Each structure stands twice: as structure tokens, then as C-alpha cells.
Structure 1
Amino acid sequence: MLYTYSDTEYAPEKCSLCNGAGYTDGKICEACGGQGNVLVAQPAIICPLCGGSGNLDTGTCKACGGSGWALFR
């Protein structure tokens, strides 16, 4: 299912931080809010900073918010 906001199409993609589970470390996932997926601008682009993992050595990737998907084009 595609959603359109301000002439940009978004589609749900599996959250990379929790791998679609909706929780990490026994807590609700920060990136998807427990949904297991995030809306990503299409075409979907893997976050170039963390390589799609949602994590950096310093913690959650700030560029994608931990989702693993680029929120920009």
C-alpha cells in the first residue's frame, strides 16, 4: 500500500533496528514505535550512514532514527 503526502509516495518497510519485531532490548523500538515497520519515501533508500543497520558504534543512527531507511532523497 502506498501513501501520498505532499506529492511524495511512502510505503511501509520493515524496521531495521528491531528487524520488524517492534521491540529491542525488552523495550518498544524507538524507530518504529512498536509498529515493526516505518513509512519510507519511495523508492526506498537504505540509510547511507549506517548501511541499513539502524545502529552506529555510538548508538542509534541519528540520520535514519534507527529505522535503517533514508528519510530523504
Structure 2
Amino acid sequence: MFHMFIDTEYAPEKCSLCSGTGHDGSGTCEACGGQGDVLVAQPAIICPLCNGAGYLEIGMCRACGGSGWALL
């Protein structure tokens, strides 16, 4: 299922921070809001800062918001 917003196509992709479960160690995953998926601009690009992991040694990756996908 694709969504269109201002000439950009988005599709759901699995959240990398919670591995698609919707929950992390402290409760509801803040990257996906408990959905397990995040809408990502297509074509999907893995976050270059965390390499798609959704987190860094210091915590959640702020470049991708923990989703693991580049936010364009």
C-alpha cells in the first residue's frame, strides 16, 4: 500500500528500533509509536548514520528518529 504526499511516495517499512514489534525495553517504541512500521519515502534508503540499526552507542539515532530509514 503506497501513500502519496506532495509528489512523494511513502510505503510502510519495518521499524528498526523495535524490530517491528512496536515495543522497546521501556514500553511503546517512540520511533514507530507502537505500530511496528514507519512510513518511508520511496525508494527506501537505510539511514547512513546508524546503518539502519535505529540506535547508536549513545542511544536512539536522531538522524532517522530510531526508524532505521533515512528521513527525506
**Normalising by the residue count of structure 2, what TM-score does the alignment of the two structures yield?**
0.98
Structure 2: segments with no counterpart, 5+ residues: none
The Cα shift of 1:28 comes to: 0.1
Provide the residue aligned with 2:25 in structure 1: 25
- Superposed CA RMSD in Å reads 0.6
Q: 1:6-64 deviations in whole A, cap 9, x for unaligned?
A: 00000000000000000000400010000000000000000000000000011000000
Provide the residue aligned with 2:60 in structure 1: 60
Q: Report 1:8-19 matches (<5 A).
A: 8-19=8-19
Counterpart AA for 1:19: S
Counting aligned pairs with the same residue, the percent is: 69
Cα distance in 2, alignment partners of residues 34 and 47 from structure 1: 20
Instruction: Count residues in correspondence.
Output: 72
Counterpart AA for 1:52: G
Runs of 4 or more consecutive aligned structure 1 residues displaced over 2 Å after TM superposition: none
Provide the residue aligned with 1:41 in structure 2: 41
Cα distance in 2, alignment partners of residues 48 and 23 from structure 1: 24
Cα distance in 2, alignment partners of residues 2 and 67 from structure 1: 18
